[in-house]
Amino acid sequence: MLKALNANVNPGEIAHAAACGFLLGLVPKDNLLWYLAFVFILFVRINKPTYLIMIVVGSAVATAGDPLFDSVGYAILTSQKMSGLFATLLEIPFVAFTKFNNTVVMGSLVAGLAAYVPVYALVRLAVHLWRKYAVMALRNSRAIKIIGKIPVLSKVAKIIGERI
């Protein structure tokens, strides 16, 4: 991820990866919907390390948001306007394996979709600020120069840099 931040990778690829990962991190992982989305997104051109890291971050946030997701999902699943659609979906083979009719799954999916654009915008802004200000400040910092002079650490950094 740090390599992508410092390289000439399109900021949009990093931001989409973060937004997709955050969305999947919010959704419970015990259903077909999560696995289908996970595999589908792997075929999209995004930064994969950022995607995987943001799944972990989203999962950490999701545990605190489960009561909210439950209430949002309940409101959506019990709305009169959507009842016909949900009944039709349940009659389609294998759709029930997505567990869309679970209140937490539906609420977290809707919350993740709602958070997609703000997460994308924030990460894209963060990448821009990182590249413009933080990289130069870190390169010129005294601590980084001292760490770079330690022989063992400089060799490890060189080996890692060659393998990445």
Please count the residues of the chain: 164
pLDDT for residue 144? 66
The whole-number pLDDT of residue 106 equals 94
Does any domain span residue 161?
A: no
- Residues of the chain below pLDDT 70: 1-8, 135, 138-139, 144-145, 147-148, 153-154, 156-164
pLDDT at 95: 87
Q: Is residue 156 situated within a structural domain?
A: no
* Structural domain count, the chain: 1
Residue 105 lies in a domain: yes
Structure confidence at residue 112 (pLDDT): 95
92 dihedral zone (left: phi>0; alpha: psi -120 to 50; beta):
beta
Q: How far apart are CA 58 and CA 61, in angstroms?
A: 5
Which pLDDT value is given to residue 139?
Answer: 67
Q: What is the DSSP letter of 1?
A: -
- In a domain, residue 147? The reply is no
* Tokens at 19, concatenated: 């937004």
In a domain, 142, yes or no: no
Considering only the C-alpha atoms of the chain, give the largest distance between any 2 of them, rounded to a whole number of Å. Answer: 68
Report pLDDT for 163.
44
The predicted pLDDT at position 164 comes to 39
> Could you tell me if 28 and 65 are in contact, meaning their C-beta atoms sit under 8 angstroms apart?
no
